[in-house]
Structures are given as C-alpha cells and as structure tokens.
Amino acid sequence: MYHKEKSIQIKNSASALYNNLGVLRIAPRRLTYFTVVHANVVNMVSASWDGLNYSHRELQSKEPNVATSTSLIMQAAFCVLPSRDLLVVTSQKGIQMYESDGSIMVYWHALDGPETPTAQAVFARGISAVWENYICVGVSSGALLVFDIPGKGSNITLSEVLEEHQEAITDLASECSGSQECIADLVSADDGGSLCVWKSGEEFQLLNKIPGSDMCCSSVKLWKGAVVAGYGTGQIRIYEAVTGILHAEVNAHARWIYSLDIAPFSGLLLSAAEDSLVRVWHLSMTPESNTVEVAHLHNECVTDTQICGAKFCDGDGYAFAVTGYDLSEIIRYTQT
C-alpha cells in the first residue's frame, strides 16, 4: 500500500520526545516544511515536491537576557489558522511563536521557573490551533494557556488559563475533520492518561473529563467528534468526545506509543511507537449506531529504531513521514 521514498537528511538527530515531527504543506508554492527537535534546537527543512530543492534552518531555544539558551525544547508544531500559519516551539523556559517559515519570532511567553531547585520540572508541551483565532499550549502544571492570535502582527495575548488537569500536559488536538456540527473542538491529554474535552469560544467550556488509569496518554487526536488516544501501554482507545463512551480499544503496539496522526479527509489513522512499527488504520463512522470501527491496513518496520514522530503529509493520507530517536533523517512513505 505504501512504499519508501528518498529520505530527507537533517542537520541533527531527533530527540526521544512524543510527537517529534511537524509537517506543513504549502500547496501554492509546492513545498512542505518539516520540523524535528534535537535538544535545544529545532531542525527545519523546506522540501520542494519534486524532491530537487531542500533548504535548512535551525531555530534555537530562547530565554531572556541569555545569548545562547541551553533550555531543552519539548515540542515544535505548526498551527494553521484561517488568517495565518505559525510555528510554535515550547521549551523549559517558555513558548516561542514564529512565522511558519521560521524567519521571524513574533511572540515569546516566559514560564515561571521552579521555586526551588528540587521542585517539579517546568516546561510547556502540547500545542494546537483551535477555532479561528486561538492557539492553546499545555504546561507541566497541567494548565492550558489560551492565546488570542490577531490576523497579522505580533499583538498576541494570553486570554485564558484553563486548570483542569492535575498532571503535566502531554498533547493537545483540535477537531480536524472541518465538520461544523461537532460540539467539542479541543481535547487535552496528560501524563496520568486523563483527557479533557473542550468547546472553544470567548471562554472555553469543559464538556467532559475522561479519567485516566495512571498510564500516560502520549498522543491524542479529535476526529468527527471522536477522541483517538495513544498510550504508554501500546493501546489506542477511541472515545465519543462528549459522552466519554468507549467505542474501541486496540492493542496496537508492543511498546509505548509516541505519535498518532489522522488524515481527516480519508479517516486514515497513523500510529508509531517504540516497537519500531508505524501502522496505518482506517476509521469509519456509522452515524445510525453512532459507532466507530477500526481496520488495520498497513505497517512499516523501521528496524532498530525507537520511532518518536509520525505525520501524514496531506489531508488524504497519500504520504506520511517518520522520525526516530538518534536518526538524522526524515523517512518518507508514499502510496503505491
């Protein structure tokens, strides 16, 4: 179903972080941007669709009054809003927002440092664009920061702080199907496996809290009103977002899941884990019975690699890309 394409080389290898791959498709320019985090650097590659041109850029973690920051970056993700695209980078010191090509930093939000040297680590992780003008970012205290993003310029403001989670946020996802009927439009996950389902607006509303079972939920997606969550057990669970009803549970991987992605137009689901496997599944909704069915379609083994990032390169799932711990390349697969 998929075959391996030529890999894209990156300047530094990928760190072992959840969801360590960002992909942004720039159709008018026939380009795709990729981001991979290594320690305190984001490797950024702009790749032309014909495979002939690659350009590289490195973004350093920032902190005030320090020339070169050693603060570790936790995640880099593209946020697509109707009026603009931004690249958001989260670290132990704060949140950086760039123009999508990485050229200009438009906003910096500092995190409060730990009160004592032995206190719990402070970091931001979990990034998602929500609705028309919000970007949400999770932090290690369990809070979600909601930023209001103007159509252009750098007048970005922190509009709300949502405090429902008791543990560090791992991942955030917004409704990706484009469906207007879905009540829920954001889901957040934490280290204890708890999931919170939100409705965005001037004030965000908590619609549902799905309790965890003390096993980390490392990656989460929201599609057609269903929450798709990947866990450290290697399981994928699919819940109805608003009611929390469990639709399906799949023993997908033998090791910790690091990344999930959904191709919203086709309902293809990508899962990647420490067991060196990337699997492609198909999700189908049955509106009459309000159920979700999961079928396994394909798997690829990246031998001896702890996979840490996997993303579809388009909304149909025609191609996907994979990163692995200590690999200095982005491996790409395309449908045959």
Token pair 């079928």 is found at 295
Q: Residue 175 and residue 46: Cα distance in Å, rounded?
A: 26
- State pLDDT tens for residues 257-298: 999 999 999 999 999 999 999 999 999 988 788 889 999 999
Which of 19, 26, 88 lies closest to 321 in space, CA to CA?
Answer: 19
- For residue 119, the model assigns a pLDDT of 66
- For residue 176, the model assigns a pLDDT of 82
Instruction: Fill in the amino acid letter for 328.
Output: S
CA torsion 177-179-185-189 (nearest 10°) is: -30
- For residue 275, the model assigns a pLDDT of 97
- For residue 130, the model assigns a pLDDT of 96
- Cβ contacts of 289 within 8 Å, gap of 6 or more: none
- For residue 40, the model assigns a pLDDT of 95
- Quick one: tokens of 264? 């919203």
- For residue 289, the model assigns a pLDDT of 80
Which of 336, 221, 323, 326 lies closest to 272 in space, CA to CA?
Answer: 323
- For residue 116, the model assigns a pLDDT of 62
Q: Residue 60 and residue 40: Cα distance in Å, rounded?
A: 6
CATH numeric code, 2-111+121-335: 2.130.10.10
Q: Residue 189 and residue 142: Cα distance in Å, rounded?
A: 9
- State pLDDT tens for residues 219-241: 999 999 999 999 999 999 999 99
Over the Cα atoms of the chain, what is R_g?
A: 18
- Residue 39 DSSP code: T
Residue ranges in the chain modelled with pLDDT below 70: 114-119
- For residue 188, the model assigns a pLDDT of 98
- State pLDDT tens for residues 28-44: 999 999 999 999 999 99
